[in-house]
Amino acid sequence: MAELLRTNRLLVRDWSAADAEAALKLFGHEALRRWAPEIADLPGIPDGPDATVMQEVLQRWAAEQRDMSPGTGRWALVALDGGALVGAISLLPMPVPEADVEMECQLAPEYWGRGYITEAAWALAQWAFEHSLVELFALVPPDNTRAAATAQRIGMEWVGESDKYHGQSLQVFRLRPDDLANAVRNRPG
Ligand SMILES: CC(C)(COP(=O)(O)OP(=O)(O)OC[C@H]1O[C@@H](n2cnc3c(N)ncnc32)[C@H](O)[C@@H]1OP(=O)(O)O)[C@@H](O)C(=O)NCCC(=O)NCCS
């Protein structure tokens, strides 16, 4: 299981089939499914917990990871203290245009309000900029105030509202290296 990076409190690493039970619990949270349609549609989630199906999903993610463009991927977020799977974070090609990259993240509700995603998103964005990305985006439903606040905490700039992604109207936030550097006052830790 390849480790991508560590922050003060989190390990960002590849998914493995051994995460299936913990991943089902994470992605099964109603609060995550509400805001992340791609999670609600994951095989194994809508029809009730199925660890075998989740294992297949995680194996597919691990296989796809090997062929993904530099600066993109899907990773598990693990608490360094105790080793619990606390969330998920990804950098994935956007549907239009395909060259753009979207950061997506999910955190188990019991860990909200600790700055975990700010910490992980910050470190991952820095990694992405070191691996050839020049900008990245977040697409946030208008009433997802937590996700919008996290985007702004790491320095993302609101660039507009669009209905060309994921079949719904979404707030578009963009992050460039200078934005991340200028948001240093918010830096976790
Ligand atoms: C979006 C989501 C990841 C945000 O989680 P979060 O814990 O609020 O995010 P952050 O890591 O930015 O934490 C910020 C909170 O931690 C607090 N915090 C504590 N220590 C902190 C630190 N060291 N650094 C930053 N914030 C800290 C902040 O004050 C803030 O608290 P508040 O909620 O009372 O305002 C989470 O709500 C989630 O998984 N939602 C469902 C899925 C989803 O919407 N994904 C995004 C799709 S676009």
Instruction: For the chain, list the domains and their CATH numbers.
Output: 3-186 (3.40.630.30)
Distance 187 CA to ligand 1 centre (A): 13
C-alpha to C-alpha distance for 7 and 119, rounded to whole angstroms: 7
State the pLDDT at residue 46: 59
State the pLDDT at residue 145: 96
Is any ligand 1 atom within 6 A of the Cβ of residue 77?
Answer: no
State the pLDDT at residue 32: 87
Is any ligand 1 atom within 6 A of the Cβ of residue 72?
Answer: no
State the pLDDT at residue 99: 79
State the pLDDT at residue 33: 81
The pTM assigned to this predicted structure is 0.94
Is any ligand 1 atom within 6 A of the Cβ of residue 118?
Answer: yes
State the pLDDT at residue 155: 96
Dihedral angle sign, alpha carbons of residues 78, 82, 83, 86 = negative
State the pLDDT at residue 51: 84
Atom of ligand 1 nearest to the CA of 31: 41
Ligand 1 atom 26, closest CA: 115
Burial 102-122 (b: 16+ CB within 10 A, else e): bbbbbbbeebeeebbbbbbbb
DSSP state of 69: P
C-beta neighbour count of 47 within 10 angstroms: 8
Ligand 1 atom 35, closest CA: 113
Is any ligand 1 atom within 6 A of the Cβ of residue 83?
Answer: no
Per-residue pLDDT 10s for the chain (189 aa) are 799 999 999 999 999 999 999 998 998 888 888 887 666 667 666 566 678 888 988 999 988 988 898 899 999 999 999 999 999 999 999 877 667 999 999 999 999 999 999 999 999 999 999 998 999 999 999 999 999 999 999 999 999 999 988 788 999 999 999 999 888 656 655
Is any ligand 1 atom within 6 A of the Cβ of residue 26?
Answer: no
Is any ligand 1 atom within 6 A of the Cβ of residue 153?
Answer: yes
State the pLDDT at residue 107: 97
State the pLDDT at residue 144: 95
Distance 165 CA to ligand 1 centre (A): 23
